[in-house]
Amino acid sequence: MRITGLEMKQLRKNMFSFPHGDGFESLLRRLSKKFIIEDFSHEVTHRVYYDTFDWRLHRANQVFFSSGGALHLEQFNGQGLAVAAGRRRSKFFWWDIEEGELVERLKENIEMRALCPIIELSTEATQFRIMNKDRKTVARLAVRNDRLGEQTSELPELIIVHEIRGYEREFDGIVEHCLKRRCSEVKNKRLFDRLLSNSDLTPRDYGAKFRVDLDRDISIGGAVSRLCLRLVEDMQKNHAGVIADIDSEFLHDFRIAVRRTRSLLSLLKKILPEAQCRYFQEEFRWLGTVTGPLRDIDVYLLEKDKYLNMLPAELQDGMSSFFEQLEVRRNGELRELQSHLGSERFGKLITDWKGFLTDPDSEIFKGSRAQNCRDYVDQMIVKRFKSFIRDGDRISDASADEELHKLRIKGKKFRYLLEFFKSFYDEKQMSSFLKYMKKLQDNLGDFNDLSVQQTMLGAELGGLKAKNLQTIRFAAALGGLIAVLSDRHRAVRNEFESTYADFTGPEIKKLLRVMVNGSL
Amino acid sequence: MKTIAVYSSKGGVGKTATTVNLAFTASRDGYRVLLCDMDSQGAASYYYRIKPKKKFNRSRLLNGEFYDFIRGTDFPLLDLLPAHFSFRNLDIAINDERKEEKRQVLASLLVPLADQYDYVILDCPPNVTVLSENIITAADCVVVPVVPTTLSLLALEQLLKLCKKVGCKKKKILAFFSMVERRKLMHTSIMKKYRSYPIFMQSYVPFMAEIEKMGMYRRPVGSSPRKSVASQAYELLWQEIRERRLS
């Protein structure tokens, strides 16, 4: 008989956690009655683990760390993905690392986000050979002591038994000894999981996805309180990152939380207590305004390569000074924003807002706000959808751009409404509806972005005075960009009609009818 | 996966020392290596301190049930299939196979290992039997240690004849001078005459006490932390084999 395929047995690696004390020493004493034991390596290593604020690597089941002058990207199971030279830093962007596989793999997941240190680990490890009477190694044993950051207490001592092919009996014997000696087997062999569970970190505790689960019988006031507390929490989580200017997305997420809050206040303004609602609307509008200029600059800087690629090589040079100026302008805007976010006005807004949302005597829980939220939201969704369709149907090829912008804002508000209350509805149906919505919103969003960019570049061009060759080059580059953007603007506008027709088809109306259990 | 056989019909030319050290060097270069000790004397297994498991024997090998008997050496990526006393009759057992399959027995046993190892290195017994024919057929490269003496050269000639008989290309064969003692006139004059022949590699392995002492220390020469002349000789030999036949 001949075998045509072969699956060699996977070598086993069992881990045991020992209470500190002489547990391990006693195990060695026991084993030395049967085997010859020799330590052959002892090393102390340091690692710093990094991830983005929203755990993008963790979400991709990857681990990134710096150790011994190199940067490593691994899978959760310890399998290496890429390595590059690099020393530890307070934060990394992918563009801070030398080009190569590591950069390619990182940028796919982290995009523009910074990798920040999350765990510092010092490890002291000793390896032992377990040998038979011929001095042949029949198993390997490692003992490691891990210490996290500044913590003075170590993690429980870890014993790792490695099997050597063909010496199964010896491996089983050693494992049996470990189990007899008060040590518990560690089932999850992923080191990173072990570190996380011993730290005060909660993986994936922050993400850009918005979901608040509301009880079906919650009151309007209760729902608004839950939703807005989650949003203010998002603002507070991102606040430090904006002030420290860690990466552009802290401000982006901060602004989204502000925009969502404003949207909710506006959607429910008829039912919310008027005076307070007006005050908070005013203050959140202020917050939206003061955070705007820095974000506008960030958008340009993030898209720098895209802009340059729109231009032929001979015009690209002219844009470089523009981006340099933007960097300078950004520093000024950042300082301005830092002072706003550190101001008394901001502090008062957050305190007042949280008080309004949590105080049991708050107006938000009284009067008509005590009625059932789900019923009210059902009606609101139908009303908003009808109004959106009414406006959308009126748009023709001859309509002004302004009409499309208004529709975009209305659509955005409607989408936020669905996202706030999506836990009331069938998850599958809601996500299918939101998918239709997103396609249309993307078209309208692109149209708006292209309008804003053209206007901004046009204003830049209008303010130029032809002093020197550099200015002329810049003007030529701006002209080139405006021409490209204008072409795209037209193309996106032409796509609107078919995208809108898809959204208003009978299928989506049927879907909405089923969701809100009513007629349209 | 490539198969390398270290073979000579003459005994005492340094076959086992070559196999043991080439296998170690290849694994240290990061390749997954299986050393198969086909010689019932079990010298390669002895050097690596590996004994066969009780249930292992020739029949298990020939039935393709030998994978569970492969054992890990003390070195990463290097495994060993130990020899068994019953291997002394391996050629007789192979002879009992059907005529048309007789020369393919070993080659077909190695096929399933292709995903597990980059190199299989065979330590062969010193004889000219149907087992030798199997080894030559299965190997991508036959490495022949030649002591610079007349008898050793005769053994090489015999191998070339065998190669022709079994229909293998002569190109498979790569010889090198082994156990060279430069103070011996015969060694230097034979080397001078034959070294330029294409069948011979430029690398050679001198006669050294360090290699002889492997039996005492029971480990390959390259495994001690200090880099020795002997380990360098095997490194050069390995590089030349790879460049000339395995790339």
Q: How far is A491 from chain B (nearest CA, A)?
A: 53
CB contact under 8 A, A2 and B108: yes
Size of interface A-B (CB pairs under 8 A): 49
- DSSP for A123-167, please give it: EEEEEEEEE-TT--EEEEEEEEEEEETT-SSPPPEEEEEEE-TT-
Averaged over A35-45, what is the pLDDT? Answer: 94
Give the residue from chain B lying closest to A9, CA to CA: B68
Per-residue confidence band for A150, with pLDDT thresholds at 50, 70 and 90: confident
A140 touches A164 (CB < 8 A) = yes
In which band, very low, low, confident or very high, does the pLDDT at A335 lie, cut at 50, 70 and 90? very high
Q: Which residue of A has its CA nearest to B50?
A: A136
Q: In chain A, which residues have their Cβ closer than 8 Å to the Cβ of B116? A: 6, 8
Mean pLDDT of A467-477: 86
Residue A373: C-alpha distances to residues A226, A227, A358, A369 (Å)? 12, 12, 18, 8
pLDDT surpassing 50 at residue A1: no
Cβ contact (<8 Å) for B113 and A164?
Answer: no
- Residue B30 DSSP SS3: coil
Helices A248-267 and A220-243, packing angle to 10 deg: 160
Cα–Cα nearest to B135, from B146, B147, B123: B123
Q: Where are the alpha helices (DSSP H) in A359-423?
A: 373-394, 401-420
Residue A105 identity (one-letter amino acid):
R
B225 confidence band (pLDDT: 50, 70, 90): confident
CA-based nearest distance B74→chain A, Å: 6
CATH assignment of A376-520? 1.40.20.10
Q: Do B49 and A135 touch (CB under 8 A)?
A: yes
Considering only alpha carbons, which residue of chain B is nearest residue A163?
Answer: B72
Counting beta carbons within 10 angstroms of the beta carbon of residue A128, is it exposed (0 to 12), middle (13 to 18) or buried (19 or more)?
buried
Nearest residue on chain A to B111, alpha-carbon basis: A4
Label residue A466 by pLDDT band (50, 70, 90): confident
Q: Alpha-carbon distance A94 to A81, whole Å?
A: 15
Least confident of A11-20, A53-62, B190-199: A11-20
What is the average pLDDT across A308-328?
Answer: 88
Cβ-Cβ contacts under 8 Å, A168 against chain B = none
Minimum CA–CA partner of A137 in chain B? B74
Determine the pLDDT at residue B61.
87
Closest residue on chain A to B117 (Cα): A8
Question: Which residues in chain B are contacts of A136 at CB distance < 8 A?
Answer: 48-50, 74
Mutation pick from A165, A168, A170 vs chain B, by most beta carbons of B within 10 Å, is: A165
Q: What one-character DSSP code corresponds to residue A9?
A: P
As a whole number of angstroms, the distance between CA A499 and CA A491 comes to 13
The pLDDT tens digits for A221-240 are 999 999 999 999 999 999 99
Q: What percent of chain A has pLDDT over 90?
A: 68
Of A6, A136, A167, the CB nearest to B112: A6
Q: List the CATH code of the domain at A12-197.
A: 2.40.320.10
Contacts of B51 in chain A (CB under 8 A): 134
Nearest 5°: phi and psi at A393? -60, -30
pLDDT for A20 equals 64
What pLDDT shows up at residue A259? 96
Asked whether the beta carbons of residue B74 and residue A5 sit closer than 8 angstroms, the reply is no
Q: What is the pLDDT of residue B247?
A: 74
Query: What would the mean pLDDT of B192-209 be, rounded to a whole number?
Result: 94
For this complex, say whether ipTM is above 0.95. no
pLDDT of residue B14: 94
Query: Cα–chain-centroid distance for residue B66?
Result: 19
Work out the minimum CA distance from B64 to partner chain A, whole angstroms: 6
Residues of A with CB under 8 A from a CB of B: 1-6, 8-9, 11, 129, 134-137, 164-167
Interface test with B, best of A11, A136, A167, A171 (most B CBs within 10 A): A136
CA of B82: which chain A residue's CA is closest?
A166
Instruction: Give the β-pairing of A116-131 and A36-51.
Output: antiparallel
Q: Average model confidence (pLDDT) for chain A?
A: 91
Candidate from A5-9, A81-85, A281-285, B9-13 with smallest mean pLDDT: A5-9
User: Which of B36, B55, B67 has the highest number of chain A CBs within 10 A, making it the mutation to test binding with A?
Assistant: B67
Tokens, residue A169: 């009996």
CB A518 within 8 A of CB A462: no
| Chain A residues lying within 8 Å of B33, measured CB to CB | none
* Closest residue of chain B to A164, computed from CA coordinates: B72
Interface of B with A (CB under 8 A): 48-51, 53, 63-65, 67-72, 74, 79, 108-109, 111-113, 115-116, 218
The confidence score (pLDDT) of residue A156 equals: 83
- A70: confidence class by pLDDT, cuts 50, 70, 90: very high
Chain A residue with CA closest to B81: the answer is A166
Question: B111 to chain A: which residues are within 8 Å by CB?
Answer: 4
The token pair that represents A276 in the structure block: 């307070």
| Interval A425-447 mean pLDDT | 92
Closest by Cβ to A6, choosing from B48, B53, B113: B113
C-alpha–C-alpha distance, residues A11 and B116, integer Å:
13
Given pLDDT bands bounded at 50, 70 and 90, which one contains residue A318?
confident
- The closest of A485, A387, A505, A506 to A440, measured between CA atoms, is A505
Q: Which range among A190-194, A403-407, B89-93 has the greatest average pLDDT?
A: A403-407
Q: Mean per-residue pLDDT for A166-178?
A: 94
The whole-number pLDDT of residue A2 equals 47
- Least trusted range by pLDDT, from A111-115, A185-189, A274-278: A185-189
Interface touch B70/A166, C-beta < 8 Å: yes
Burial (Cβ within 10 Å: 0-12, 13-18, ≥19) of residue A286: middle
Q: What is the average pLDDT across B240-244?
A: 93
The residue ranking higher by pLDDT, B202 or B99, is: B202
Domain ranges for chain A? 12-197, 209-371, 376-520
Both structure tokens of A371: 């009625």
Contacts of B69 in chain A (CB under 8 A): 166
Label residue B100 by pLDDT band (50, 70, 90). Answer: low
Examine the pLDDT at B220 and tell me if it is beyond 90. yes
Identify all chain A residues contacting B50, using CB atoms and an 8 Å cutoff.
Answer: 136, 166
**Residue A4 predicted with pLDDT over 60:** no
Per-residue exposure over A293-313, b if at least 16 CB sit within 10 Å of its own CB, e if not: bbbebbebeeeeeebbebbee
Give the closest of A5, A136, A166 to B69, CB-based.
A166
pLDDT at A5 over 60: no
Question: What does the pLDDT read at residue A198?
Answer: 86
Contacts of B70 in chain A (CB under 8 A): 8, 165-166
Q: Which residues contact B35 (CB under 8 A, 6 or more apart)?
A: B19, B20, B23, B44, B48, B73, B78, B79, B80, B81, B120, B121, B123
Q: Do B67 and A6 touch (CB under 8 A)?
A: yes
Instruction: Please tell me the CATH superfamily of domain A209-371, with its number.
Output: CHAD domain (1.40.20.10)
Q: What percent of chain B has pLDDT over 90?
A: 70
What residues of chain A lie within 8 A of the CB of B74, using their CB? 129, 136-137
Distance (Å) from the C-alpha of residue A209 to the closest C-alpha of chain B?
43
Which of chain B's residues have a Cβ under 8 Å away from the Cβ of A3?
64-65, 67, 112
Calculate mean pLDDT across residues A398-421. Answer: 93
Cβ A136–B49 below 8 Å, yes or no? yes
A165·B116 Cβ contact <8 A: no
Interchain proximity B74–A137, CB inside 8 Å: yes
**Domains A12-197 and A376-520 equal at CATH topology level:** no
- Encoded tokens for A263: 């949207």
Using DSSP's 3-state secondary structure scheme, residue A407 falls into: helix
- Whole-number Å distance between alpha carbons of A276 and A221: 13
Q: Tens digits of per-residue pLDDT, B38-93?
A: 999 999 999 999 999 999 988 888 888 888 899 999 999 999 999 999 888 888 88
Dmax of chain A from CA atoms?
93
Please name the residue of chain A whose CA is at the shortest distance from the CA of residue B78.
Answer: A165
All residues of chain B having their beta carbon less than 8 Å from the beta carbon of residue A4 are: 111-112
CA angle B222–A168–A1, rounded 5-degree value: 95
Instruction: Report the alpha-carbon distance of residue A27 to residue A31 in Å, rounded.
Output: 6
pLDDT mean over B179-194 = 95
Give the whole-angstrom CA distance, residue A5 versus residue B64.
11
Matching residue, tokens 């303010």 = A463
- Answer whether A134 sits within 8 Å of B48, measured CB to CB: no
Instruction: Provide the pLDDT confidence category of residue A481 given band limits of 50, 70 and 90.
Output: very high
By Cβ distance, the residue of A2, A9, A137 closest to B64 is A2
What is the 8-class DSSP label of residue B89? G
Give the distance from residue A48's alpha carbon to the nearest chain B alpha carbon, in angstroms. 28
In this prediction, residue A152 carries a pLDDT of: 63
Average of pLDDT values for B117-142?
92
